[in-house]
Structure 1
């Protein structure tokens, strides 16, 4: 599984360590999501892909099994491995989401991402306001400070912002809500690099200030105020993307 934060790190050109298995998964998955391998098409034969990617049959087969588990492909006897319809893709898979960063802009998908963020993170904010501990608050303040002092580093800002979302998820004591972090990471990456409404530095300053206020509201157990501030954060991100 892709590590949380990998997409944000890639924005600064940093490449994650990878093995042959992850390399093949990324190459084929990226090609499917970006449209290089069209929906309904049949992938090349095992022999051709083994030569193209420089891997063994075992590595290739394991990679294809992983992609099938993500809903991207389907192996059919006497036909081969076919690219599945988008309706079968697992959009909560962080790697599938990350590949969409490199695809052509899709306003409908972006709107869906922000609807999901609103639906899943809103109750998380309420739970965090109720269950936060002193350690959670300390971590929130630390990561907010990292956002404020990130300067021109998109990576530092994005990772710190993602950590804030993660701490809020942890403090809410609901492990399933943490699954929204893949959605959050993609929307953050888009907001940090595809902004049109304002310069990126202005966006980062506004976002950091909102998260400082949100942290204070969570610390004070002010669920209603926290919910309003979170919604302002979400709308700010959305204004940079959709």
Structure 2
């Protein structure tokens, strides 16, 4: 299971702590999503992969089972492990989503991400205005303060923004709407990636200002304003991400 925020934290280049099992999952999974292992191809034999990744047969088999559960591969007797069609991939899986950060920019895929993010986050924000508690608002304001204190640091800004979005999803009270977190993190990470390449401009300050208004709208139970501001925030991220194309 990928920890929320780990993709954004990787922008600094610091390697994440890992064990052999997660290492193999990431290496093969990212290789599939980025096209290193093409759709329909058969992965190398167990012996070759054990040698390649320096792991035991047990570790390799467990990693392949995890990837099969995510829909990326399919093991067939006397054939081997075949890379599955993208239509079988579990795109709501945060780990599968995170591997797309390293893939070539794809306009259709990016548009799909933002379509789903709009549908889920606007609903989550509307529900949050009905179900928020004083503690929910306190947590959101804490992360707003962290954004203010980031001092232009993209990683700290991104992690704090993600935590605000996560808190809104939690506040909605819907376990299904919480599944938006992986999409939010990927789109935020892609937006910050573009900021790294070209400079943030007014992206950081504009995002902070919009999220401040969003938290205020949720606190005052103003569903219409909250959903409008969520759309505004998502548009800011989408404009940045589409610039990658």
TM-superposed CA distance for 1:172, in Å, is 1.1
More moved, 53-62 vs 138-147: 138-147
Offset at residue 145 of structure 1 (A): 1.4
CA distance in 2: counterparts of 1:170 and 1:43, whole angstroms = 39
- Structure 2 CA distance for aligned equivalents of residues 129 and 107 of structure 1: 33
The one-character-per-residue Cα deviations of 1:165-187 (angstroms, maximum 9, x if unpaired) are: 11111111111111110000000
1:201 is displaced (CA, Å) by: 4.4
Shift of 1:155: 1.4
- 1:9-61 CA deviation, whole Å, 9 max, x = no partner? 10111222111100100110111111011111000000010111111100000
Unmatched runs of 5 consecutive residues or more in structure 2? none
Q: Distance in 2 between matches of 1:91 and 1:171?
A: 24
Aligned-partner SS, 2:164: helix
Structure-2 residue corresponding to 1:231: 231
Number of aligned residue pairs: give it. Answer: 242
Identify the residue that residue 105 of structure 1 maps to in structure 2. Answer: 105
Contact 2:152 2:204 in 1 (8 A): no
In the TM superposition, residue 122 of structure 1 has moved relative to its aligned partner by 1.0
For residues 87-138 of structure 1, give each alpha carbon's deviation from its aligned partner in whole angstroms, at most 9, with x where no partner exists: 1111001111000000000111110000000111111111111111111111
**Match in the other structure for 1:122:** 122
Q: Secondary structure, in 3 states, of the residue corresponding to 2:176?
A: helix
1:195, distance to aligned residue in structure 2 (A) = 4.6
Q: How big is the alpha-carbon RMSD for the aligned residues of Structure 1 and Structure 2?
A: 1.4
The residue that corresponds to 1:191 in the other structure is 191
Paired position in structure 2 for 1:96: 96
What secondary structure does 2:202 align onto? helix
Divergent runs of 4+, >4 A: none
Tell me which moved more, 206-215 or 144-153: 144-153
- SS of the residue 1:240 aligns to: helix
TM-score (norm 1): 0.97
What 5-or-longer segments of structure 1 have no aligned partner? none
Q: 1:25, 1:171 → 2: CA distance?
A: 32
Distance in 2 between residues matched to 1:232 and 1:199, nearest whole Å: 21
Task: Name the CA distance, whole Å, in 2 between partners of 1:149 and 1:81.
Answer: 48
SS of match in other structure, 2:104:
coil
